[in-house]
Chains A and B, each alone.
Chain A
């Protein structure tokens, strides 16, 4: 059978510099949101990375794309590709760091223990996102059909551009919108796991 020829991706030098810088900025903002600012300890601190995370990771994303280390995904924007690269990078670094971290022998709640808990929570969040990253809207809606408020949320994500617009439409606060978002991703990840377990039986 003949292999379908995919359109070649644009060479980095063929992409306007403004577009690349915009993708780096948006992905840097995504890092800021994920890390809730700039962490002072742990694998994403400036000490660990040599630069602030929101500066470091977009540069890494650019290099992986420009050198061809990252396999280009057809149909996705440069910004989306950069975020995906960074998510994968952060997830791997976090897992390695957690693997090397020794638990507090005394079992007392120290700064390190709090940082460890936060790192584990972020690792789980990133892994969950990795699992659902290629999920289309239709399947997500199918899996959420028993939870109408989450179905509404997904439809609004597709239709609207920002949290403020969603919050206005639903007449809830932005904090509540973000809570809906977290619930949606958890529900989708759980439904996906359930589906895979059924396949294995």
Chain B
């Protein structure tokens, strides 16, 4: 990891849970659930797209 990438992670890790929840408008648990739902939704779309080929 080079300098800027390390700094970027430092910046991200400096965000408190409270700040993050305020920025996202959801609790951390809700956020993680939403991201999980989104990714799983993409995974179910892909096989369907493959069938159409």
Chain A residues at the B interface, C-beta cutoff of 8 Å: 12-13, 17, 20-21, 24-35, 37-38, 52-55, 58-59, 62-63, 66, 76-77, 79-80, 83-84, 87, 129, 132-137, 140, 154, 157-158, 161-163, 174, 181, 185, 188
Contact = CB atoms under 8 A, between A and B. Distances in A.
B9 interface: yes
Interface in B12-53: 12-15, 19-20, 22-26, 28, 31-32, 34-36, 38-40, 42-43, 46
A129 B20 contact: no
Contact of B36 (A17, A26, A77, A83): A17
Decide if the interface of chain B is mainly helix, strand, loop or mixed: helix
A55 B12 contact: no
Contacts of A83: 5, 8-9, 12
B7 A181 contact: yes
Interface of B: 1-15, 19-20, 22-26, 28, 31-32, 34-36, 38-40, 42-43, 46
Contacts of B10: 157, 161-163, 181
Contacts of A31: 23
Contacts of A163: 10, 14
Given A30-B11, A134-B2, A62 B38 contact: yes
Nearest to A133: B4
15 contacts: A21-B36, A21-B39, A34-B11, A38-B23, A38-B24, A52-B24, A54-B20, A62-B38, A84-B5, A129-B4, A133-B5, A158-B6, A161-B10, A162-B10, A162-B14
B16 to A, nearest CB: 9
B14 A54 contact: no
A129 B10 CA distance: 14
Contacts of A30: 8-9, 11-12, 15
Nearest to B34: A55
A109 B12 CA distance: 32
The 9 closest A-B pairs by CB, nearest first: A30-B12, A29-B15, A29-B12, A32-B23, A38-B23, A24-B35, A80-B5, A33-B11, A26-B12
Contacts of A181: 7, 10
Contacts of A80: 1, 5, 8-9
